[in-house]
Structure 1
């Protein structure tokens, strides 16, 4: 359990807090590139309790600015997107993609434009996502995950909003013990081709081994199987909010990124990639189950539905454990049930070891951030070769050696 002060430290992302400053040191996935049409409608984006606007100029270049015009605070999402500029409709102030003010029709002395600074932010498009750096100074090394080198044919980023604090969503990603329980409808259904998930069936007490990494943590969850074998799931946690989810070699790569929109809302990215074949032909069934077609907010039609449509009758009939249709929305339902968890009232057990280490890791990185120390270790991180594992291995196999061999194999494949 945490103290009230510790709980605020790791959940409160409002401006002026240590967590807000820590998050701003990272490249953040803000919206899909396809959501911005050249010369089209600017898009509002809220991140870390602050409001921004994104637009794509006629030349295809993306601008990411504070939403409020620095003149009188009118939303630039109302602005005119033309001539590679975003122009406020109130008094005609114009801004380029870098956030430079280029024209002020209301001022006789146009040199006043140069006094308006700090309106735009560095952006990078990769893997179908617009990434933004909201911090001060030069951005860190970009998180060039393997999927950021692939075209839409081989990678698919899907985004949605979740009405809960970011941390409890991240904690769920490192919680291997819940898979066979909360997701029992999927893991116990032998008709579904879930090679990785189905291997947890009947074993809800994994043993955890955790290793610190420059980027965060490697969480090894080990389940004993018949015939002297182990089922090994390795979740790679990249601080502060990314988790690579274990998949078998036959399955596509899979990661989830959780970004705080505000203290009770999160933007979640589900990213799938497979350079061997078109990704849409190798998506896990739960990737689309019960979701909307839109990849910009695939949970839109279910938001506001009480308990995500939990079917109590199906639960009573023994046809469903959770009553909530779909793996994704089972996770959403438990997170949104209490928008900000009071961690001072918890009783954690051995199945929560990964959660304890996650919190310690976050608090230490926030401490380093506040002290001006390197809290990212981005230069020491090989983002591109990161991928989680889900494998059945001999019980006498050293799990750390096995995971390292797999990592080196991926590095060779990427050369």
Structure 2
């Protein structure tokens, strides 16, 4: 991931672009975006992050609060994340200039005076934390209400999964709207069988616009209907089976948010609710810790997908990977190219939800490009339905 951006000439593909000067990027910046897992950022540490084609500095102050500021120091433009966290400020590694969480310069060693410098600052961005993830707002004006979606209800624990994918973010969002792929892409892992899917039982699907974005309905002819929610612009809420080596709690209510790093890569932030009683939590936490160690020692999904797509490996080589199901997805979506050329497609009946999603995005991006307001999206927390 190097912050690459791509200029697309094909009509109707602006939603694939995420840079600050693109219509698609302006759309995404109107909403809170997750940028990091909370537990991975310790107090007094800083990290560089790449979000929507721009580089930033993420740090957690000694108070425990997370901050996002510009990538570079305002003095001589070196990378701020290499510096030191002091209190709730970050001190530049190069000459010690120090900036608070609002971006203001509060100290300039060797200068006269050495304290705050009026007018010298770095850009700073609102941050919040919710269900184990750090969120930031990169748009203009006041941010929308937070959190972007409510917490889960009932007794249980939150489990977060963060993975990099080697393709444009909108390809994965379209894949999430495409239930027909389950019968084929996920046949190696067998997860399609949990939904009663095989090559014969490709579901009947439909899509409907909702106040929060879109809902997809699917059925395999048994009279039961599954509903999956798409909280625009880049989150899905769905009930899915456990797939990462932890079977506690059964099927999980899950939010999946896709955040571009650049135009050719993105991060999947998955927040899942594990319904588990208090008496089983100790066993779950022990199993989760062991599974986390397996994941740390496993190869990155994006690297594996590149090896498979380049012919250096095959999918079966990674059958024991703790997130094999996500490898299946990464290969299918990455196989479309870093940015899919949709002008080459021949869409069919099973693509009705993708077509509906694209039309809704085209409407919103046209409004932005013409200086008109977009739809005021509202989500009151209605849950998805498993449907069987």
| TM-score past 0.5 threshold | yes
User: Offset at 1:203?
Assistant: 3.9
Distance 1:116 1:206, change over 3 A: same
Q: Is 1:147 the counterpart of 2:140 in the alignment?
A: no
Preserved CA contact (<8 Å) 1:94 1:101: yes
Report the RMSD for the aligned CA atoms in angstroms: 3.5
> 1:292: Cα distance to partner?
5.0
Match of 2:27 in 1: 22
Q: Shift of residue 332 of structure 1? A: 0.5
Query: Which residue does the alignment assign to 1:115?
Result: 119
Give 2:307's match in structure 1, choosing from 300, 305, 308. 305
Q: CA deviation at 1:282?
A: 8.2
Q: Distance in 2 between matches of 1:216 and 1:137?
A: 22
> Structure 2 matches for 1:62-73, cutoff 5 A?
62-73=66-77
1:205-220 matches, within 5 Å, as: 205-220=202-217
Distance 1:203 1:231 in 2: 17
Partner Cα separation in structure 1 for residue 154 and residue 80 of structure 2? 32
SS at match of 1:113: coil
Q: In the TM superposition, what is the alpha-carbon distance from 1:223 to its structure 2 partner? A: 1.3
Q: Give the CA deviation at 1:216.
A: 0.9
Query: Paired residues, what number?
Result: 364
Secondary structure, aligned partner of 1:391: coil
1:360 positional shift: 0.9
Matches within 5 A, 1:150-299: 154-187=157-190, 194=194, 197=195, 199-224=196-221, 229-247=222-240, 251-274=251-274, 277=277, 292-294=294-296, 299=301
- Per-residue deviation, residues 216-249 of structure 1 (Å, max 9, x unmatched): 100111211xxxx324221111112111124489
Cα distance, 1:68–1:275 mapped onto 2, change above 3 Å: same
Which residue is equivalent to 2:245? none
In 2 relative to 1, CA 313–27 (structure 1 residues): closer, same or farther, beyond 3 Å? Answer: closer
Would you say the 8 A contact 2:41–2:60 is kept in 1? yes
Q: Which has more helix, going by share of residues?
A: 1
Which residue is 2:18 aligned to?
13
**Equivalence for 1:396:** none
Structure 2 unaligned regions, length at least 5: 1-7, 242-248
Q: Which residue of 2 aligns with 1:45?
A: 49
Superposition TM-score, scaled by structure 1 size: 0.78
Mapping for residues 359-370 of structure 1, pairs under 5 Å: 359-370=358-369
Partner residue of 1:334 out of 332, 335, 355:
332
- Counterparts of 1:256 and 1:8 in 2: how far apart (Å)? 22
